[in-house]
């Protein structure tokens, strides 16, 4: 059984209205929520075999916090430009390219694509994956042949869910 962890980036800063969206870093709440959510996964013994992240600054920072807390070698994070504001179809293409040796894959990205992807992959209705929210989808079979409707929502958590 494979598991795909879709982790929306933590809360980002809007302090500089002239900053490009792609460059926005985490804000104070994001820097607090990311380690908290990573610790929740650690406490459930949910550890990554592979991490893939959008290259947008807020997603990168979130992925790096998770890699630190979960003792995942940050040099092994796969940086994927195509995850920046990706559609569900683009996210599926990234998932279909995952090597079969990996069973627990953590993916860091953005809404609305992540929420739409979870809903299509697992045939569920989540209105919104909040910032630093985590949806874990169980997948039978192969990453390469995975398509919409073949996943099962196994776990859903977010910072204000305590």
Question: Domain locations in the chain?
Answer: 2-10+21-157
Residues contacting residue 137 through CB under 8 Å, at least 6 positions apart: 3, 4, 6, 118, 121, 122, 151, 152, 153, 154
Fold classification of 2-10+21-157 (topology level): Rossmann fold (3.40.50)
* CA count, 13 A, side-chain hemisphere, 103: 4
pTM of the model: 0.97
Averages of pLDDT over runs of 10 residues in the chain (162 residues) are 97 89 95 98 97 98 98 97 97 98 98 98 97 97 96 97 81
Question: What pLDDT does 86 receive?
Answer: 98
């Amino acid at each position: 059984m494979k598991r795909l962890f879709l982790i929306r980036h933590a809360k980002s800063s809007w302090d500089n209205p002239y900053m490009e969206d792609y460059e926005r870093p985490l804000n104070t709440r994001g820097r607090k929520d990311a380690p908290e959510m990573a610790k929740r996964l650690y406490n459930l013994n949910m550890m990554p075999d592979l991490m893939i992240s959008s290259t947008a600054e807020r997603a990168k920072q979130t992925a790096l916090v998770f890699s630190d807390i979960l003792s995942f070698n940050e040099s092994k994070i796969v940086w994927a430009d195509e995850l920046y504001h990706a559609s569900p179809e683009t996210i599926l293409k990234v998932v279909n390219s995952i090597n079969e040796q990996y069973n627990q894959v953590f993916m860091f990205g953005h809404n609305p694509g992540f929420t739409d992807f979870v809903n299509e992959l697992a045939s569920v209705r989540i209105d919104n994956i909040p910032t630093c929210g985590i949806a874990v989808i169980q997948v039978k079979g192969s990453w390469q042949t995975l398509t919409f409707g073949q996943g099962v929502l196994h776990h859903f958590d977010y910072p204000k869910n305590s």
